[in-house]
Structure 1
Amino acid sequence: MSIGSLGIKVGMTQIFDEKNACIPVTLIKIGPCIVTQIKTLASDGYNAIQLGFGISQNNKYGLKKLKSTKALQGHLKKSGTPECHFLKEYHINQPEDFELGQKFDITNFLSVQYIDVRGKTIGKGFAGTVKRYGFGRGPMTHGSKNHRAPGSIGAGSTPGRVYPGKRMAGRLGGKQTTIKRLTVLKIDQEENLLVVKGCIPGKPGNLISLTPSVS
């Protein structure tokens, strides 16, 4: 049974198949995660389980943890789980199949061929329209002073304003995004590593959420 899990992006490398074709891959360290709460339709209005993920022993990437408040400590004490630094819910259909303190690790992905990975992209700061959206530039010769400027952003009297959502310069990256249907190429149970084809959001050490792809 595989519903999803939290993990850390280790980094990228490459492998070669039987035809000596180079395949770019990403290494993901899975869990282990522990069920810290079970939500049901009767008590909470929806069915879900909450997974806790701790990184106290492997926080060399400087991930920002949840603040350990008394409320959080009391919440984790109910399930008898150790200290967790990240919590995330996953919707389920049958909450009776789970129990508090249940462990989820890489063995839950042994039968999974495709996964969806959600994480925060690399933040690149303030960027112009050319870098942010791929806008074309102006002439580079003949005295032109409009090389990478955005140009006109709307008409004058009508409508007399700029419509919301206009693509302009602004902050680039640093947002949650999902990469769908990544192929699982290899599973290393000893190191809890998942090898997937292609790239995933963020830098090495980025916290990510994995779920099996819906066919």
Structure 2
Amino acid sequence: MAKNKLQRYEDIKYLDNVIEMDEHNFTEPGEVRGRWSHYFDNDNPIVLELACGKGEYTRELAKRNPGRNYIGIDRKGDRIWKGAVESLENELDNVRFLRIHIDHITGYFAPSEVDEIWITFPDPQLKKERKRLTSPVFIERYRQIMKPGGIIHLKTDSHVLYEYTSEIIRELNLEIIRVIPDIYRLDRLPDDLDIRTWYEESHLKSGKTIRYISFAV
């Protein structure tokens, strides 16, 4: 592992806006579950970004929506480090990062604690449907922590994941909120979609179509 990466793993242990569950941090799941309003010191709506990487989407949404709290979730500490440091430098008090496996998400949030979830450019898991972040297994986990009618957003370059998610929504009889097969064919992008991460820029340069779908659970 590169020296810089090792240093970042060390650094995030001491960042005030990062919570990671390992031997270096005594925080147990139960200490944050149901208590996120305490960590933000307010009762504003909570929005998650899953597999947030460097937290680009999390941070930009937080800048544009100061009345909402954002939590970027990823298992890679070196990725979270960048998002956390830049959030502190920009004094984004409504941003936190949680370093966990998404499979364990129900251990860190209480029922009805989450208002919205963003899933931006996740691994489409082409060979393992069960691991897709919009599979029925994961959607059931999200239901357990979201308020009734909470909205899930998917933004992806993967046609396979987009079509799969559309089919799962139909199978589960969920309410579709918005469908955009190609966001860059719109005359004007909605504010919440007009955010380009490094990954999105890369996909666009490769000529890929960026798709979006949102639904309520």
Normalising by structure 2, we get a TM-score of 0.23
Please say which structure displays the higher CA radius of gyration. 1
Which structure has greater helix proportion?
2
Normalising by structure 1, we get a TM-score of 0.23
Which structure has greater strand proportion?
1
Q: Which structure has the higher relative contact order (CA within 8 Å, separation 6+)? A: 1
